[in-house]
């Protein structure tokens, strides 16, 4: 059975897409059959996987509104080896169109059902909002991975996301849980970041992943080559951290 995880945080620029792409590539390298679902109309996860978002015949949009099956819309990442359900600007229209459709929050979940046996992991890259698209991700998932920077405001935004996850759990998806918080773009020289990091550990305990992703320019350079950082420069500190994170996820799913 596929384990389905949303990478979510309603703030933009916090490392969701970087986490999704690198975790997908690292899991695939570790022998886990992985599907990455791009749920952001910006299509950054699609491009960062080496797939041209402007050339898509079918995308996640078509799957959500019932114009294509997952099989018709998925592609394989030439650089990362994992499968991708890609996205582009078409997806921006889905937000409005979904409102009138049956089972509007469950469209993605329904689309996954027949492909469950083909993957060990499905990762959903959510847009930076708590929208109908994110809701589709949360309704389809077993858990949420929350990437965050160790900044003062990071904790404020977190309570909105945690409340949304609680509501979805109570009303729409009893399977949903927070798998963990992933510290990203971490700079250990900054005292504030160390303090926030320690605060997260004391408040959230083992919900904070051991792996910490440092700020690392190689991770930021990789998307312009259409490659996940873990493929672009495997030896870089950022890539190493995502490999460690993938191993931690593989261990953690055994306990779910
Ligand atoms: P989101 O999907 O949450 O909007 P992204 O993953 O696109 O965030 O990251 C925002 C920006 O930060 C991107 O330019 C990305 O390349 C860069 N970035 C992400 N993680 C790191 C990191 N660990 N080190 C350096 N740059 C990073
Ligand atoms: Mg993104």
Model pTM?
Answer: 0.97
The per-residue pLDDT for range 151-174, each reduced to its tens digit, is 988 788 788 899 999 999 999 999
Task: Supply the pLDDT for residue 243.
Answer: 98
Give the atom of ligand 1 at the shortest distance from the alpha carbon of 125. 2
Nearest to 149 by CA among 178, 184, 192, 199: 184
The per-residue pLDDT for range 58-87, each reduced to its tens digit, is 999 999 999 999 999 999 999 999 999 999
CA gap 82, 85 in Å, rounded: 10
Mutation probe of ligand 1 site: the residue of 12, 218, 220, 243 with most atoms within 8 A of C-beta: 220
Cα 225 versus chain centre, distance: 20
Bridge partners of 180, per DSSP, are 145
Q: With 80 as the cut, is the pLDDT of residue 117 above it?
A: yes
Name 223's Cβ contacts closer than 8 Å, sequence gap at least 6.
18, 21, 44, 47, 48
Ordered by where they begin, the domains of the chain are 3-254 (3.40.50.300)
Residue 193 beta carbon below 6 angstroms from any ligand 1 atom = no
């Amino acid at each position: 059975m596929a384990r389905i995880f949303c990478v979510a945080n309603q703030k933009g620029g916090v490392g969701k897409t970087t986490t999704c792409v690198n975790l997908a590539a690292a899991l695939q390298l570790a022998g886990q059959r992985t599907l990455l679902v791009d749920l952001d109309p910006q299509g950054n996860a699609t491009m960062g996987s080496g797939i041209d978002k402007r050339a898509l015949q079918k995308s996640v949009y078509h799957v959500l509104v019932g114009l294509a099956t997952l099989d018709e819309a998925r592609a394989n990442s030439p650089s990362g080896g994992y499968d991708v359900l890609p996205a582009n600007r078409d997806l921006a229209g889905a937000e409005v169109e979904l409102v009138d459709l049956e089972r509007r929050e469950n469209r993605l979940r329904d689309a996954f059902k027949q492909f469950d046996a083909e993957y060990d992991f499905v990762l959903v890259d959510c847009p930076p909002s708590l929208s109908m698209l994110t809701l589709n991700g949360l309704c389809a998932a077993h858990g949420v991975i929350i990437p965050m920077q160790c900044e003062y405001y990071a904790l404020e935004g977190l309570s909105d996301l945690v409340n949304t996850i609680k509501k979805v759990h109570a009303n729409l998806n009893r399977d949903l849980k927070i798998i963990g918080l992933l510290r990203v773009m971490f700079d250990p020289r900054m005292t504030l970041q160390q303090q926030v990091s320690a605060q997260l550990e004391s408040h959230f305990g083992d919900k904070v992943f051991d792996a910490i992703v440092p700020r690392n320019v190689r991770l930021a350079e990789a998307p312009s080559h259409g490659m996940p950082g873990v493929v672009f420069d495997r030896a870089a500190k950022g890539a190493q951290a995502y490999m460690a994170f993938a191993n931690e996820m593989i261990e953690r799913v055994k306990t779910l």
